[in-house]
Each structure stands twice: as C-alpha cells, then as structure tokens.
C-alpha cells in the first residue's frame, strides 16, 4: 500500500512539474507576443506623432503668414528699450495701462516687458525672439501637450535658421 501511495505521489509530482513547465512556456510565449505587439504600436505612435508634427508645423506656418509674423524688424518703443537695455532698478516707466510703474525686481521688469510688448501677463508665457527682440513665432502659454511644445520650439528654431540665410 505504501509503495502504491508513493508511486501515485511521484506521478502527481511529475504531472505538476509538467503543468508548471507548460505554464512557464506559455508565459514566455505570451510575453514575446506582447512585446512584439507593443513595438508595433510604438512604431505606429511615432509615425503618427511625426505626421501630426508635420501637419501642425504646416498649419503654424500658414497661421504665421496670415498673422504677418515674418520676422521683419519691428520698432521698439521707448518703454521696451528702457526695459530691455537696462538693469537699473527703481526706474519709473509707463505701463500699458498708462499708470506709472516702478521696477524694483527682475520679475517686474520681465512682467512689464511682456505686458508692453505682447499685451499679456500670464505665466508661463513663452515667445521666441530674435536677438533684436522681434518675435519669431506666436506666443505659447500653458499646455501639458508635449508634442505641441516641441513643435513650438522647432518652429521658432526653423524660423531663426531661415533668418540666418
């Protein structure tokens, strides 16, 4: 009887080992299949992102043409010159709403420049400028869309390179 019970235990052990091996092999196969599918999806997403970036860049170029943001030199106002060319604080300037404003910090300096030049006081507010202070592209405010931000940067870089030619 003990011998028969031992034989049954050995057979059950072999069956369990076989089942575990089968499960292990299935998991390996399924993992490889999932990895292959993930790579395909990633390739599709990258292609779609590139296509979207190209479309968005074309749209931005059309918008820029419509807005006449061609990189032509614009005249600086006296206020812009005062803000851009000095680090002397305590200088009184006239803000866009006509009230005299005393600049005492760098933050106030850039806030006043943004208000005077772009009519906005939002943060973040990003504009790519030429060394002369002329906008290369439209402004970019808060957004969590990484592709859109990268397109904004690339658009500004491309326009800057065009001006160098």
Are the C-beta atoms of residues 60 and 157 closer than 8 Å to each other?
no
pLDDT digits 0-9 by tens, 84-121? 555 555 666 665 566 777 777 777 777 777 777 777 77
* Residue 10: predicted pLDDT: 92
Secondary structure of residue 86 in the 3-state scheme: coil
Mean of per-residue pLDDT scores for the chain: 77
Element (H, E) at 165: none
Secondary structure of residue 4 in the 3-state scheme: helix
Residue 165: pLDDT band by 50, 70, 90 thresholds? confident
For residue 77, give the DSSP letter.
P
Residue 126: strand pairing partners: 140
What does the chain come to in residues? 165
For residue 135, give the DSSP letter.
B
> Can you give the pTM of this predicted structure?
0.40
What is d(CA 35, CA 134) in angstroms, rounded to the nearest whole number? 49
Are the C-beta atoms of residues 64 and 127 closer than 8 Å to each other?
no
For range 41-53, the mean pLDDT: 80
* Residue 69: predicted pLDDT: 44
Lookup: tokens for 98: 């006509």
Higher pLDDT, 105 or 73: 105
């Amino acid at each position: 009887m003990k011998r028969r019970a031992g034989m049954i235990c050995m057979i059950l052990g072999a069956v369990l080992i076989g089942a575990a091996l089968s499960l292990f092999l299935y998991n390996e196969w399924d993992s490889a299949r999932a990895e292959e599918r993930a790579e395909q999806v990633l390739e599709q997403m990258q292609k779609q992102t590139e296509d979207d970036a190209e479309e968005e860049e074309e749209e931005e170029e059309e918008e820029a043409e419509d807005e006449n943001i061609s990189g032509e030199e614009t005249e600086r106002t006296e206020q812009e010159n005062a803000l851009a060319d000095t680090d002397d604080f305590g200088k009184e300037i006239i803000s866009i709403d006509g009230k005299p404003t005393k600049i005492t910090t760098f933050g106030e300096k850039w806030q006043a420049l943004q208000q005077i030049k772009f009519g906005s006081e939002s943060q973040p507010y990003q504009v790519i400028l030429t060394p002369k202070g002329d906008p290369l592209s439209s402004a970019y405010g808060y957004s969590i869309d990484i592709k859109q931000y990268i397109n904004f940067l690339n658009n500004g870089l491309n326009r800057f390179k065009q001006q160098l030619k």
